[in-house]
């Protein structure tokens, strides 16, 4: 997963939607864990379109 950090507003929506607990929100940082399977669900809930699949 890729995150456009300048767009993210730390709302936490992506964290709550991941059923693999693969996204963690730190104070001003989002991290994706290795168990992310690129399902894309979090991309759809991000209100600012900050997430995308890695190339
Ligand atoms: S792509 Fe899917 S598995 Fe990966 S962080 Fe987003 S919701 Fe979780
Ligand atoms: S849903 Fe989008 S704006 Fe909200 S924390 Fe996740 S990446 Fe950032």
pLDDT of 8 reads: 95
Interval 25-51 mean pLDDT: 95
Number of domains within the chain: 1
CATH number of the domain where residue 16 is located = 3.30.70.20
> Is any ligand 2 atom within 6 A of the Cβ of residue 43?
no
Q: 55 or 41: whose pLDDT is higher? A: 41
The set of protein residues with a Cβ atom below 6 angstroms from ligand 1 is 1, 17-18, 20, 22-23, 32, 36-42
| Whether pLDDT at 28 is above 90 | no
Tokens of 36: 């992310």
Question: Could you write out the three-class secondary structure of 14-47?
Answer: HHHHCCCCCEEEECCEEEECCCCCCCCHHHHHCC
**Residue 22: which domain range?**
2-52
pLDDT category of residue 14 using cuts at 50, 70 and 90 = very high
């Amino acid at each position: 997963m890729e995150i456009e950090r300048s767009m993210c507003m730390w709302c936490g929506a992506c964290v709550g939607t991941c059923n693999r607990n693969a996204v963690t929100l730190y104070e001003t940082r989002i991290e994706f864990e290795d168990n992310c399977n690129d399902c894309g669900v979090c991309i759809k809930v991000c209100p600012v379109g900050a997430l995308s699949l890695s190339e």
